[in-house]
Chain A
Amino acid sequence: MFPPIQDIYRIAPELVACLFGMLIMVADPFVPRERKGAMGRLGLAGALGALVAVELMSRHAGAAMNGLLVVDSFSVFLHMIIYGAASLVVLASYDYLERENLQQGEFYALLFFATCGMGIMASATELMTVFVGLEISSIASYILACYRRAALKSHESAMKYFLLGSFATAFFLYGVAMVYGATGTTSLVAIRAAAAHATDHHMLLTLGFGMLFVGMAFKIAAAPFQVWTPDVYEGAPTPVTALLASGPKAAAFAVLLRIVFTAFGDASSTWFWIVWISAALTMVVGNFAAVAQSNVKRMLAYSSIAHAGYLLVAVAAAGAAGEESAAGIAAVLFYLVAYALMKVGAFTIVSHLGGSGEQRLEIDDYAGLSTRQPTTAACLALYLLSLLGLPLTAGFLGKVYIFQAALDAKLIWLVVIMAVTTVVGAFYYLRVIWVMYFREAQQDWTPAPVAPGVAAVMFLTAAGILALFFFPGPLMTFAAHSALSLR
């Protein structure tokens, strides 16, 4: 049976992404080699089309596909982040693919399939749908991580991502099976209702939640399940790293928030301490390990672990606040936007400066950049300061909202750990800036001129980071509104 037209609108972004993915794959063999640039334009058209489709979707709120998916302001918010990040990555990879002499068509197709899976995760209100979305996005990402077929590091990255990702998925699925066994359903709303009077299955349900959390923690790179992150981020092609750092993390946080606040909303005592411990560990591991890195990609990978920790603090704060959870959830959402902008921007510049074959990835390679390419250096400095959380950047406000939510929930210890680890973070972020601005270049090296796509990403992300600091109102209102739709 064909689904009603309303349901088609509610999955419009996913449909557009899939259609363009398939269109690119079919068209690719017919385009002569010297005109492969057309694939990039088709990819950009698809990304913009998907963003329009998100707008279309937002006008048709409600449950879709027999309650497997839901379109509420929460899922619209997450779609904005995911499809926005994917569009930026399309822009950033245009120049990269040409420079590295990689197949252009398949790359965009896989990127769209991965994005489609993340979109499904953002809207899913049923655990098996989450699983299917998770796998659509993961399987495409495994191939993307392997995309530099000539580079041994890329294979290694893909292998580690694939093995550990599937391992995590198995845990997630076992969790789904246990929750299903305890409640007889996999719909998040029905789980909440069933859990309320299924007291004799409490043990099974708690165990099930633990397994679900392990699966999610892998995807958001939370300790103690973060070991894969630096290796995968370092080995994958840099534009892919930009996608992995922003999209799947946002999608996995969407799933985590839906699971803890919709399905386990009445049982915050079950998960509060799990999230608390994981948040504390993640912040400490991420920040301290980042200090020891000399490779920029690895440093940024550890920094993304640290940021997963900050986001988990906000989740814990929302859990501790009970009925007042909206402030914490809104803080997570706001921070996810800021975080996606900073990471996509930073990795795009790393990809630009890496040069052919990704040769120049050490922090020392950036010496003297401020005199050679002042704009690039200034943008990278802005992203790093925002990651650190200094005023005038979106990262600052994001951290303030998280601190506020955590203080309101009286999580004093988490606030202390977060403050201390943020100060540790200052060391490695400022070191890069110091190298760029105050150290003379060792060798004679001029970075390639900034390609138009890269310039567009730099402009959009830098403008976004500044705009979110000066005019956070509209986004914060939207985030607060989205947070309310979770209950």
Chain B
Amino acid sequence: MVPSSYYLVLSAVLFGLGVVAFVFKRNIITIFMSIELMLNAVNLAFVTFSQHLGKLNGQVFVFFVIVVAAAEAAVGLAIIILIAKHRQSLNVERVDLLKL
């Protein structure tokens, strides 16, 4: 059997990749995908801990995360479409009316 630490390392790597992509990517859709990647890393961690501890509730949490992520995607994509329609671009650096 594959030890659970392998899955945890994979989960941490996925989460780290998500963070790196979030910080360095410039396309809004790609940034949004990197958030989804982070959430999936969380799901993997939940399932692994659930298996490791022999408790089922970790797997139930995964469903919560999936449902909420879907709701978030619905709203997020609507906002992104609005941006794309008004600016003809998905580059975050062009969305700069409000100075950071």
- B22 to nearest A CB, angstroms? 6
- Give A155-188 as 1s and 0s: 1 = Cβ < 8 Å from B's Cβ atoms: 1111110110011001001101110110010100
- Give B58-82 as 1s and 0s: 1 = Cβ < 8 Å from A's Cβ atoms: 1001001100100110011001101
The answer to whether B68 and A174 have CB atoms under 8 Å apart is: no
Which chain A residues (405-455) contact chain B, with CB distance < 8 Å?
none
Residues of B in contact, count (CB < 8 Å): 40
- Most chain A CB within 10 A, of B65, B98, B100, is at B98
- A367 to nearest B CB, angstroms? 23
A234 in contact (CB, < 8 A): yes
The answer to whether B42 and A170 have CB atoms under 8 Å apart is: yes
The answer to whether B28 and A159 have CB atoms under 8 Å apart is: yes
Q: Whose C-beta in chain B lies nearest to the C-beta of A165?
A: B72
- B56 to nearest A CB, angstroms? 12
B17 in contact (CB, < 8 A): no
The answer to whether B65 and A173 have CB atoms under 8 Å apart is: yes
Q: Pick from B15, B18, B57, B79: contact of A159, CB below 8 A.
A: B79
The answer to whether A181 and B42 have CB atoms under 8 Å apart is: no
Q: Pick from A135, A155, A177, A235: contact of B68, CB below 8 A.
A: A135
- Give B18-46 as 1s and 0s: 1 = Cβ < 8 Å from A's Cβ atoms: 10001000001001100100110110011
Q: Whose C-beta in chain A lies nearest to the C-beta of B73?
A: A166
B53 in contact (CB, < 8 A): yes
- Give B79-91 as 1s and 0s: 1 = Cβ < 8 Å from A's Cβ atoms: 1101100110000
A184: B residues at CB distance < 8 A: 53, 55
Q: Pick from A135, A149, A173, A176: contact of B71, CB below 8 A.
A: A135
Q: How far is the CA of A158 from the CA of B57 in the complex (A)?
A: 34
Which chain A residues (125-176) contact chain B, with CB distance < 8 Å?
128, 131-132, 135, 139, 142-143, 146, 149, 152-153, 155-160, 162-163, 166-167, 170, 173-174, 176
Q: How far is the CA of A162 from the CA of B69 in the complex (A)?
A: 12
B48: A residues at CB distance < 8 A: 181
The answer to whether A153 and B97 have CB atoms under 8 Å apart is: yes
- B15 to nearest A CB, angstroms? 6
Q: How far is the CA of A186 from the CA of B72 in the complex (A)?
A: 23
Q: How far is the CA of A153 from the CA of B41 in the complex (A)?
A: 33
Q: Pick from A149, A153, A170: contact of B35, CB below 8 A.
A: A170
Q: Whose C-beta in chain A lies nearest to the C-beta of B34?
A: A167
B95 in contact (CB, < 8 A): yes
- A281 to nearest B CB, angstroms? 18
The answer to whether A131 and B68 have CB atoms under 8 Å apart is: yes
Q: Pick from A173, A176, A181: contact of B52, CB below 8 A.
A: A181
Q: Whose C-beta in chain A lies nearest to the C-beta of B46?
A: A177
Q: How far is the CA of A152 from the CA of B88 in the complex (A)?
A: 13
A25 in contact (CB, < 8 A): no
The B contact surface, by secondary structure, is helix
Q: Pick from A135, A158, A186: contact of B79, CB below 8 A.
A: A158
The answer to whether B35 and A166 have CB atoms under 8 Å apart is: yes
Q: Whose C-beta in chain B lies nearest to the C-beta of A154?
A: B82
Q: How far is the CA of A290 from the CA of B16 in the complex (A)?
A: 33
Q: How far is the CA of A370 from the CA of B75 in the complex (A)?
A: 43
Q: How far is the CA of A227 from the CA of B83 in the complex (A)?
A: 21
Q: Pick from B76, B80, B98: contact of A234, CB below 8 A.
A: B98
B46: A residues at CB distance < 8 A: 177, 180
In the complex where A142-B76, A159-B28 touch, is A174 in contact with B15 (Cβ < 8 A)? Answer: yes
B38: A residues at CB distance < 8 A: 167, 170, 174
The answer to whether B72 and A139 have CB atoms under 8 Å apart is: yes
- A111 to nearest B CB, angstroms? 15
A55 in contact (CB, < 8 A): no
A231 in contact (CB, < 8 A): yes
- A416 to nearest B CB, angstroms? 30
The answer to whether B55 and A163 have CB atoms under 8 Å apart is: no
The answer to whether B35 and A163 have CB atoms under 8 Å apart is: yes
The answer to whether B39 and A173 have CB atoms under 8 Å apart is: yes
- A16 to nearest B CB, angstroms? 22
Q: How far is the CA of A128 from the CA of B75 in the complex (A)?
A: 21
The answer to whether A155 and B61 have CB atoms under 8 Å apart is: no
Q: How far is the CA of A260 from the CA of B56 in the complex (A)?
A: 26
Q: Whose C-beta in chain B lies nearest to the C-beta of A146?
A: B79
- A357 to nearest B CB, angstroms? 14
- Most chain B CB within 10 A, of A163, A170, A230, is at A170
* B residues lining the A interface (CB < 8 Å): 8, 15, 18, 22, 28, 31-32, 35, 38-39, 41-42, 45-46, 48-49, 52-53, 55, 57-58, 61, 64-65, 68, 71-72, 75-76, 79-80, 82-83, 86-87, 95-98, 100
* A residues lining the B interface (CB < 8 Å): 128, 131-132, 135, 139, 142-143, 146, 149, 152-153, 155-160, 162-163, 166-167, 170, 173-174, 176-178, 180-181, 184, 186, 227, 230-231, 234-235
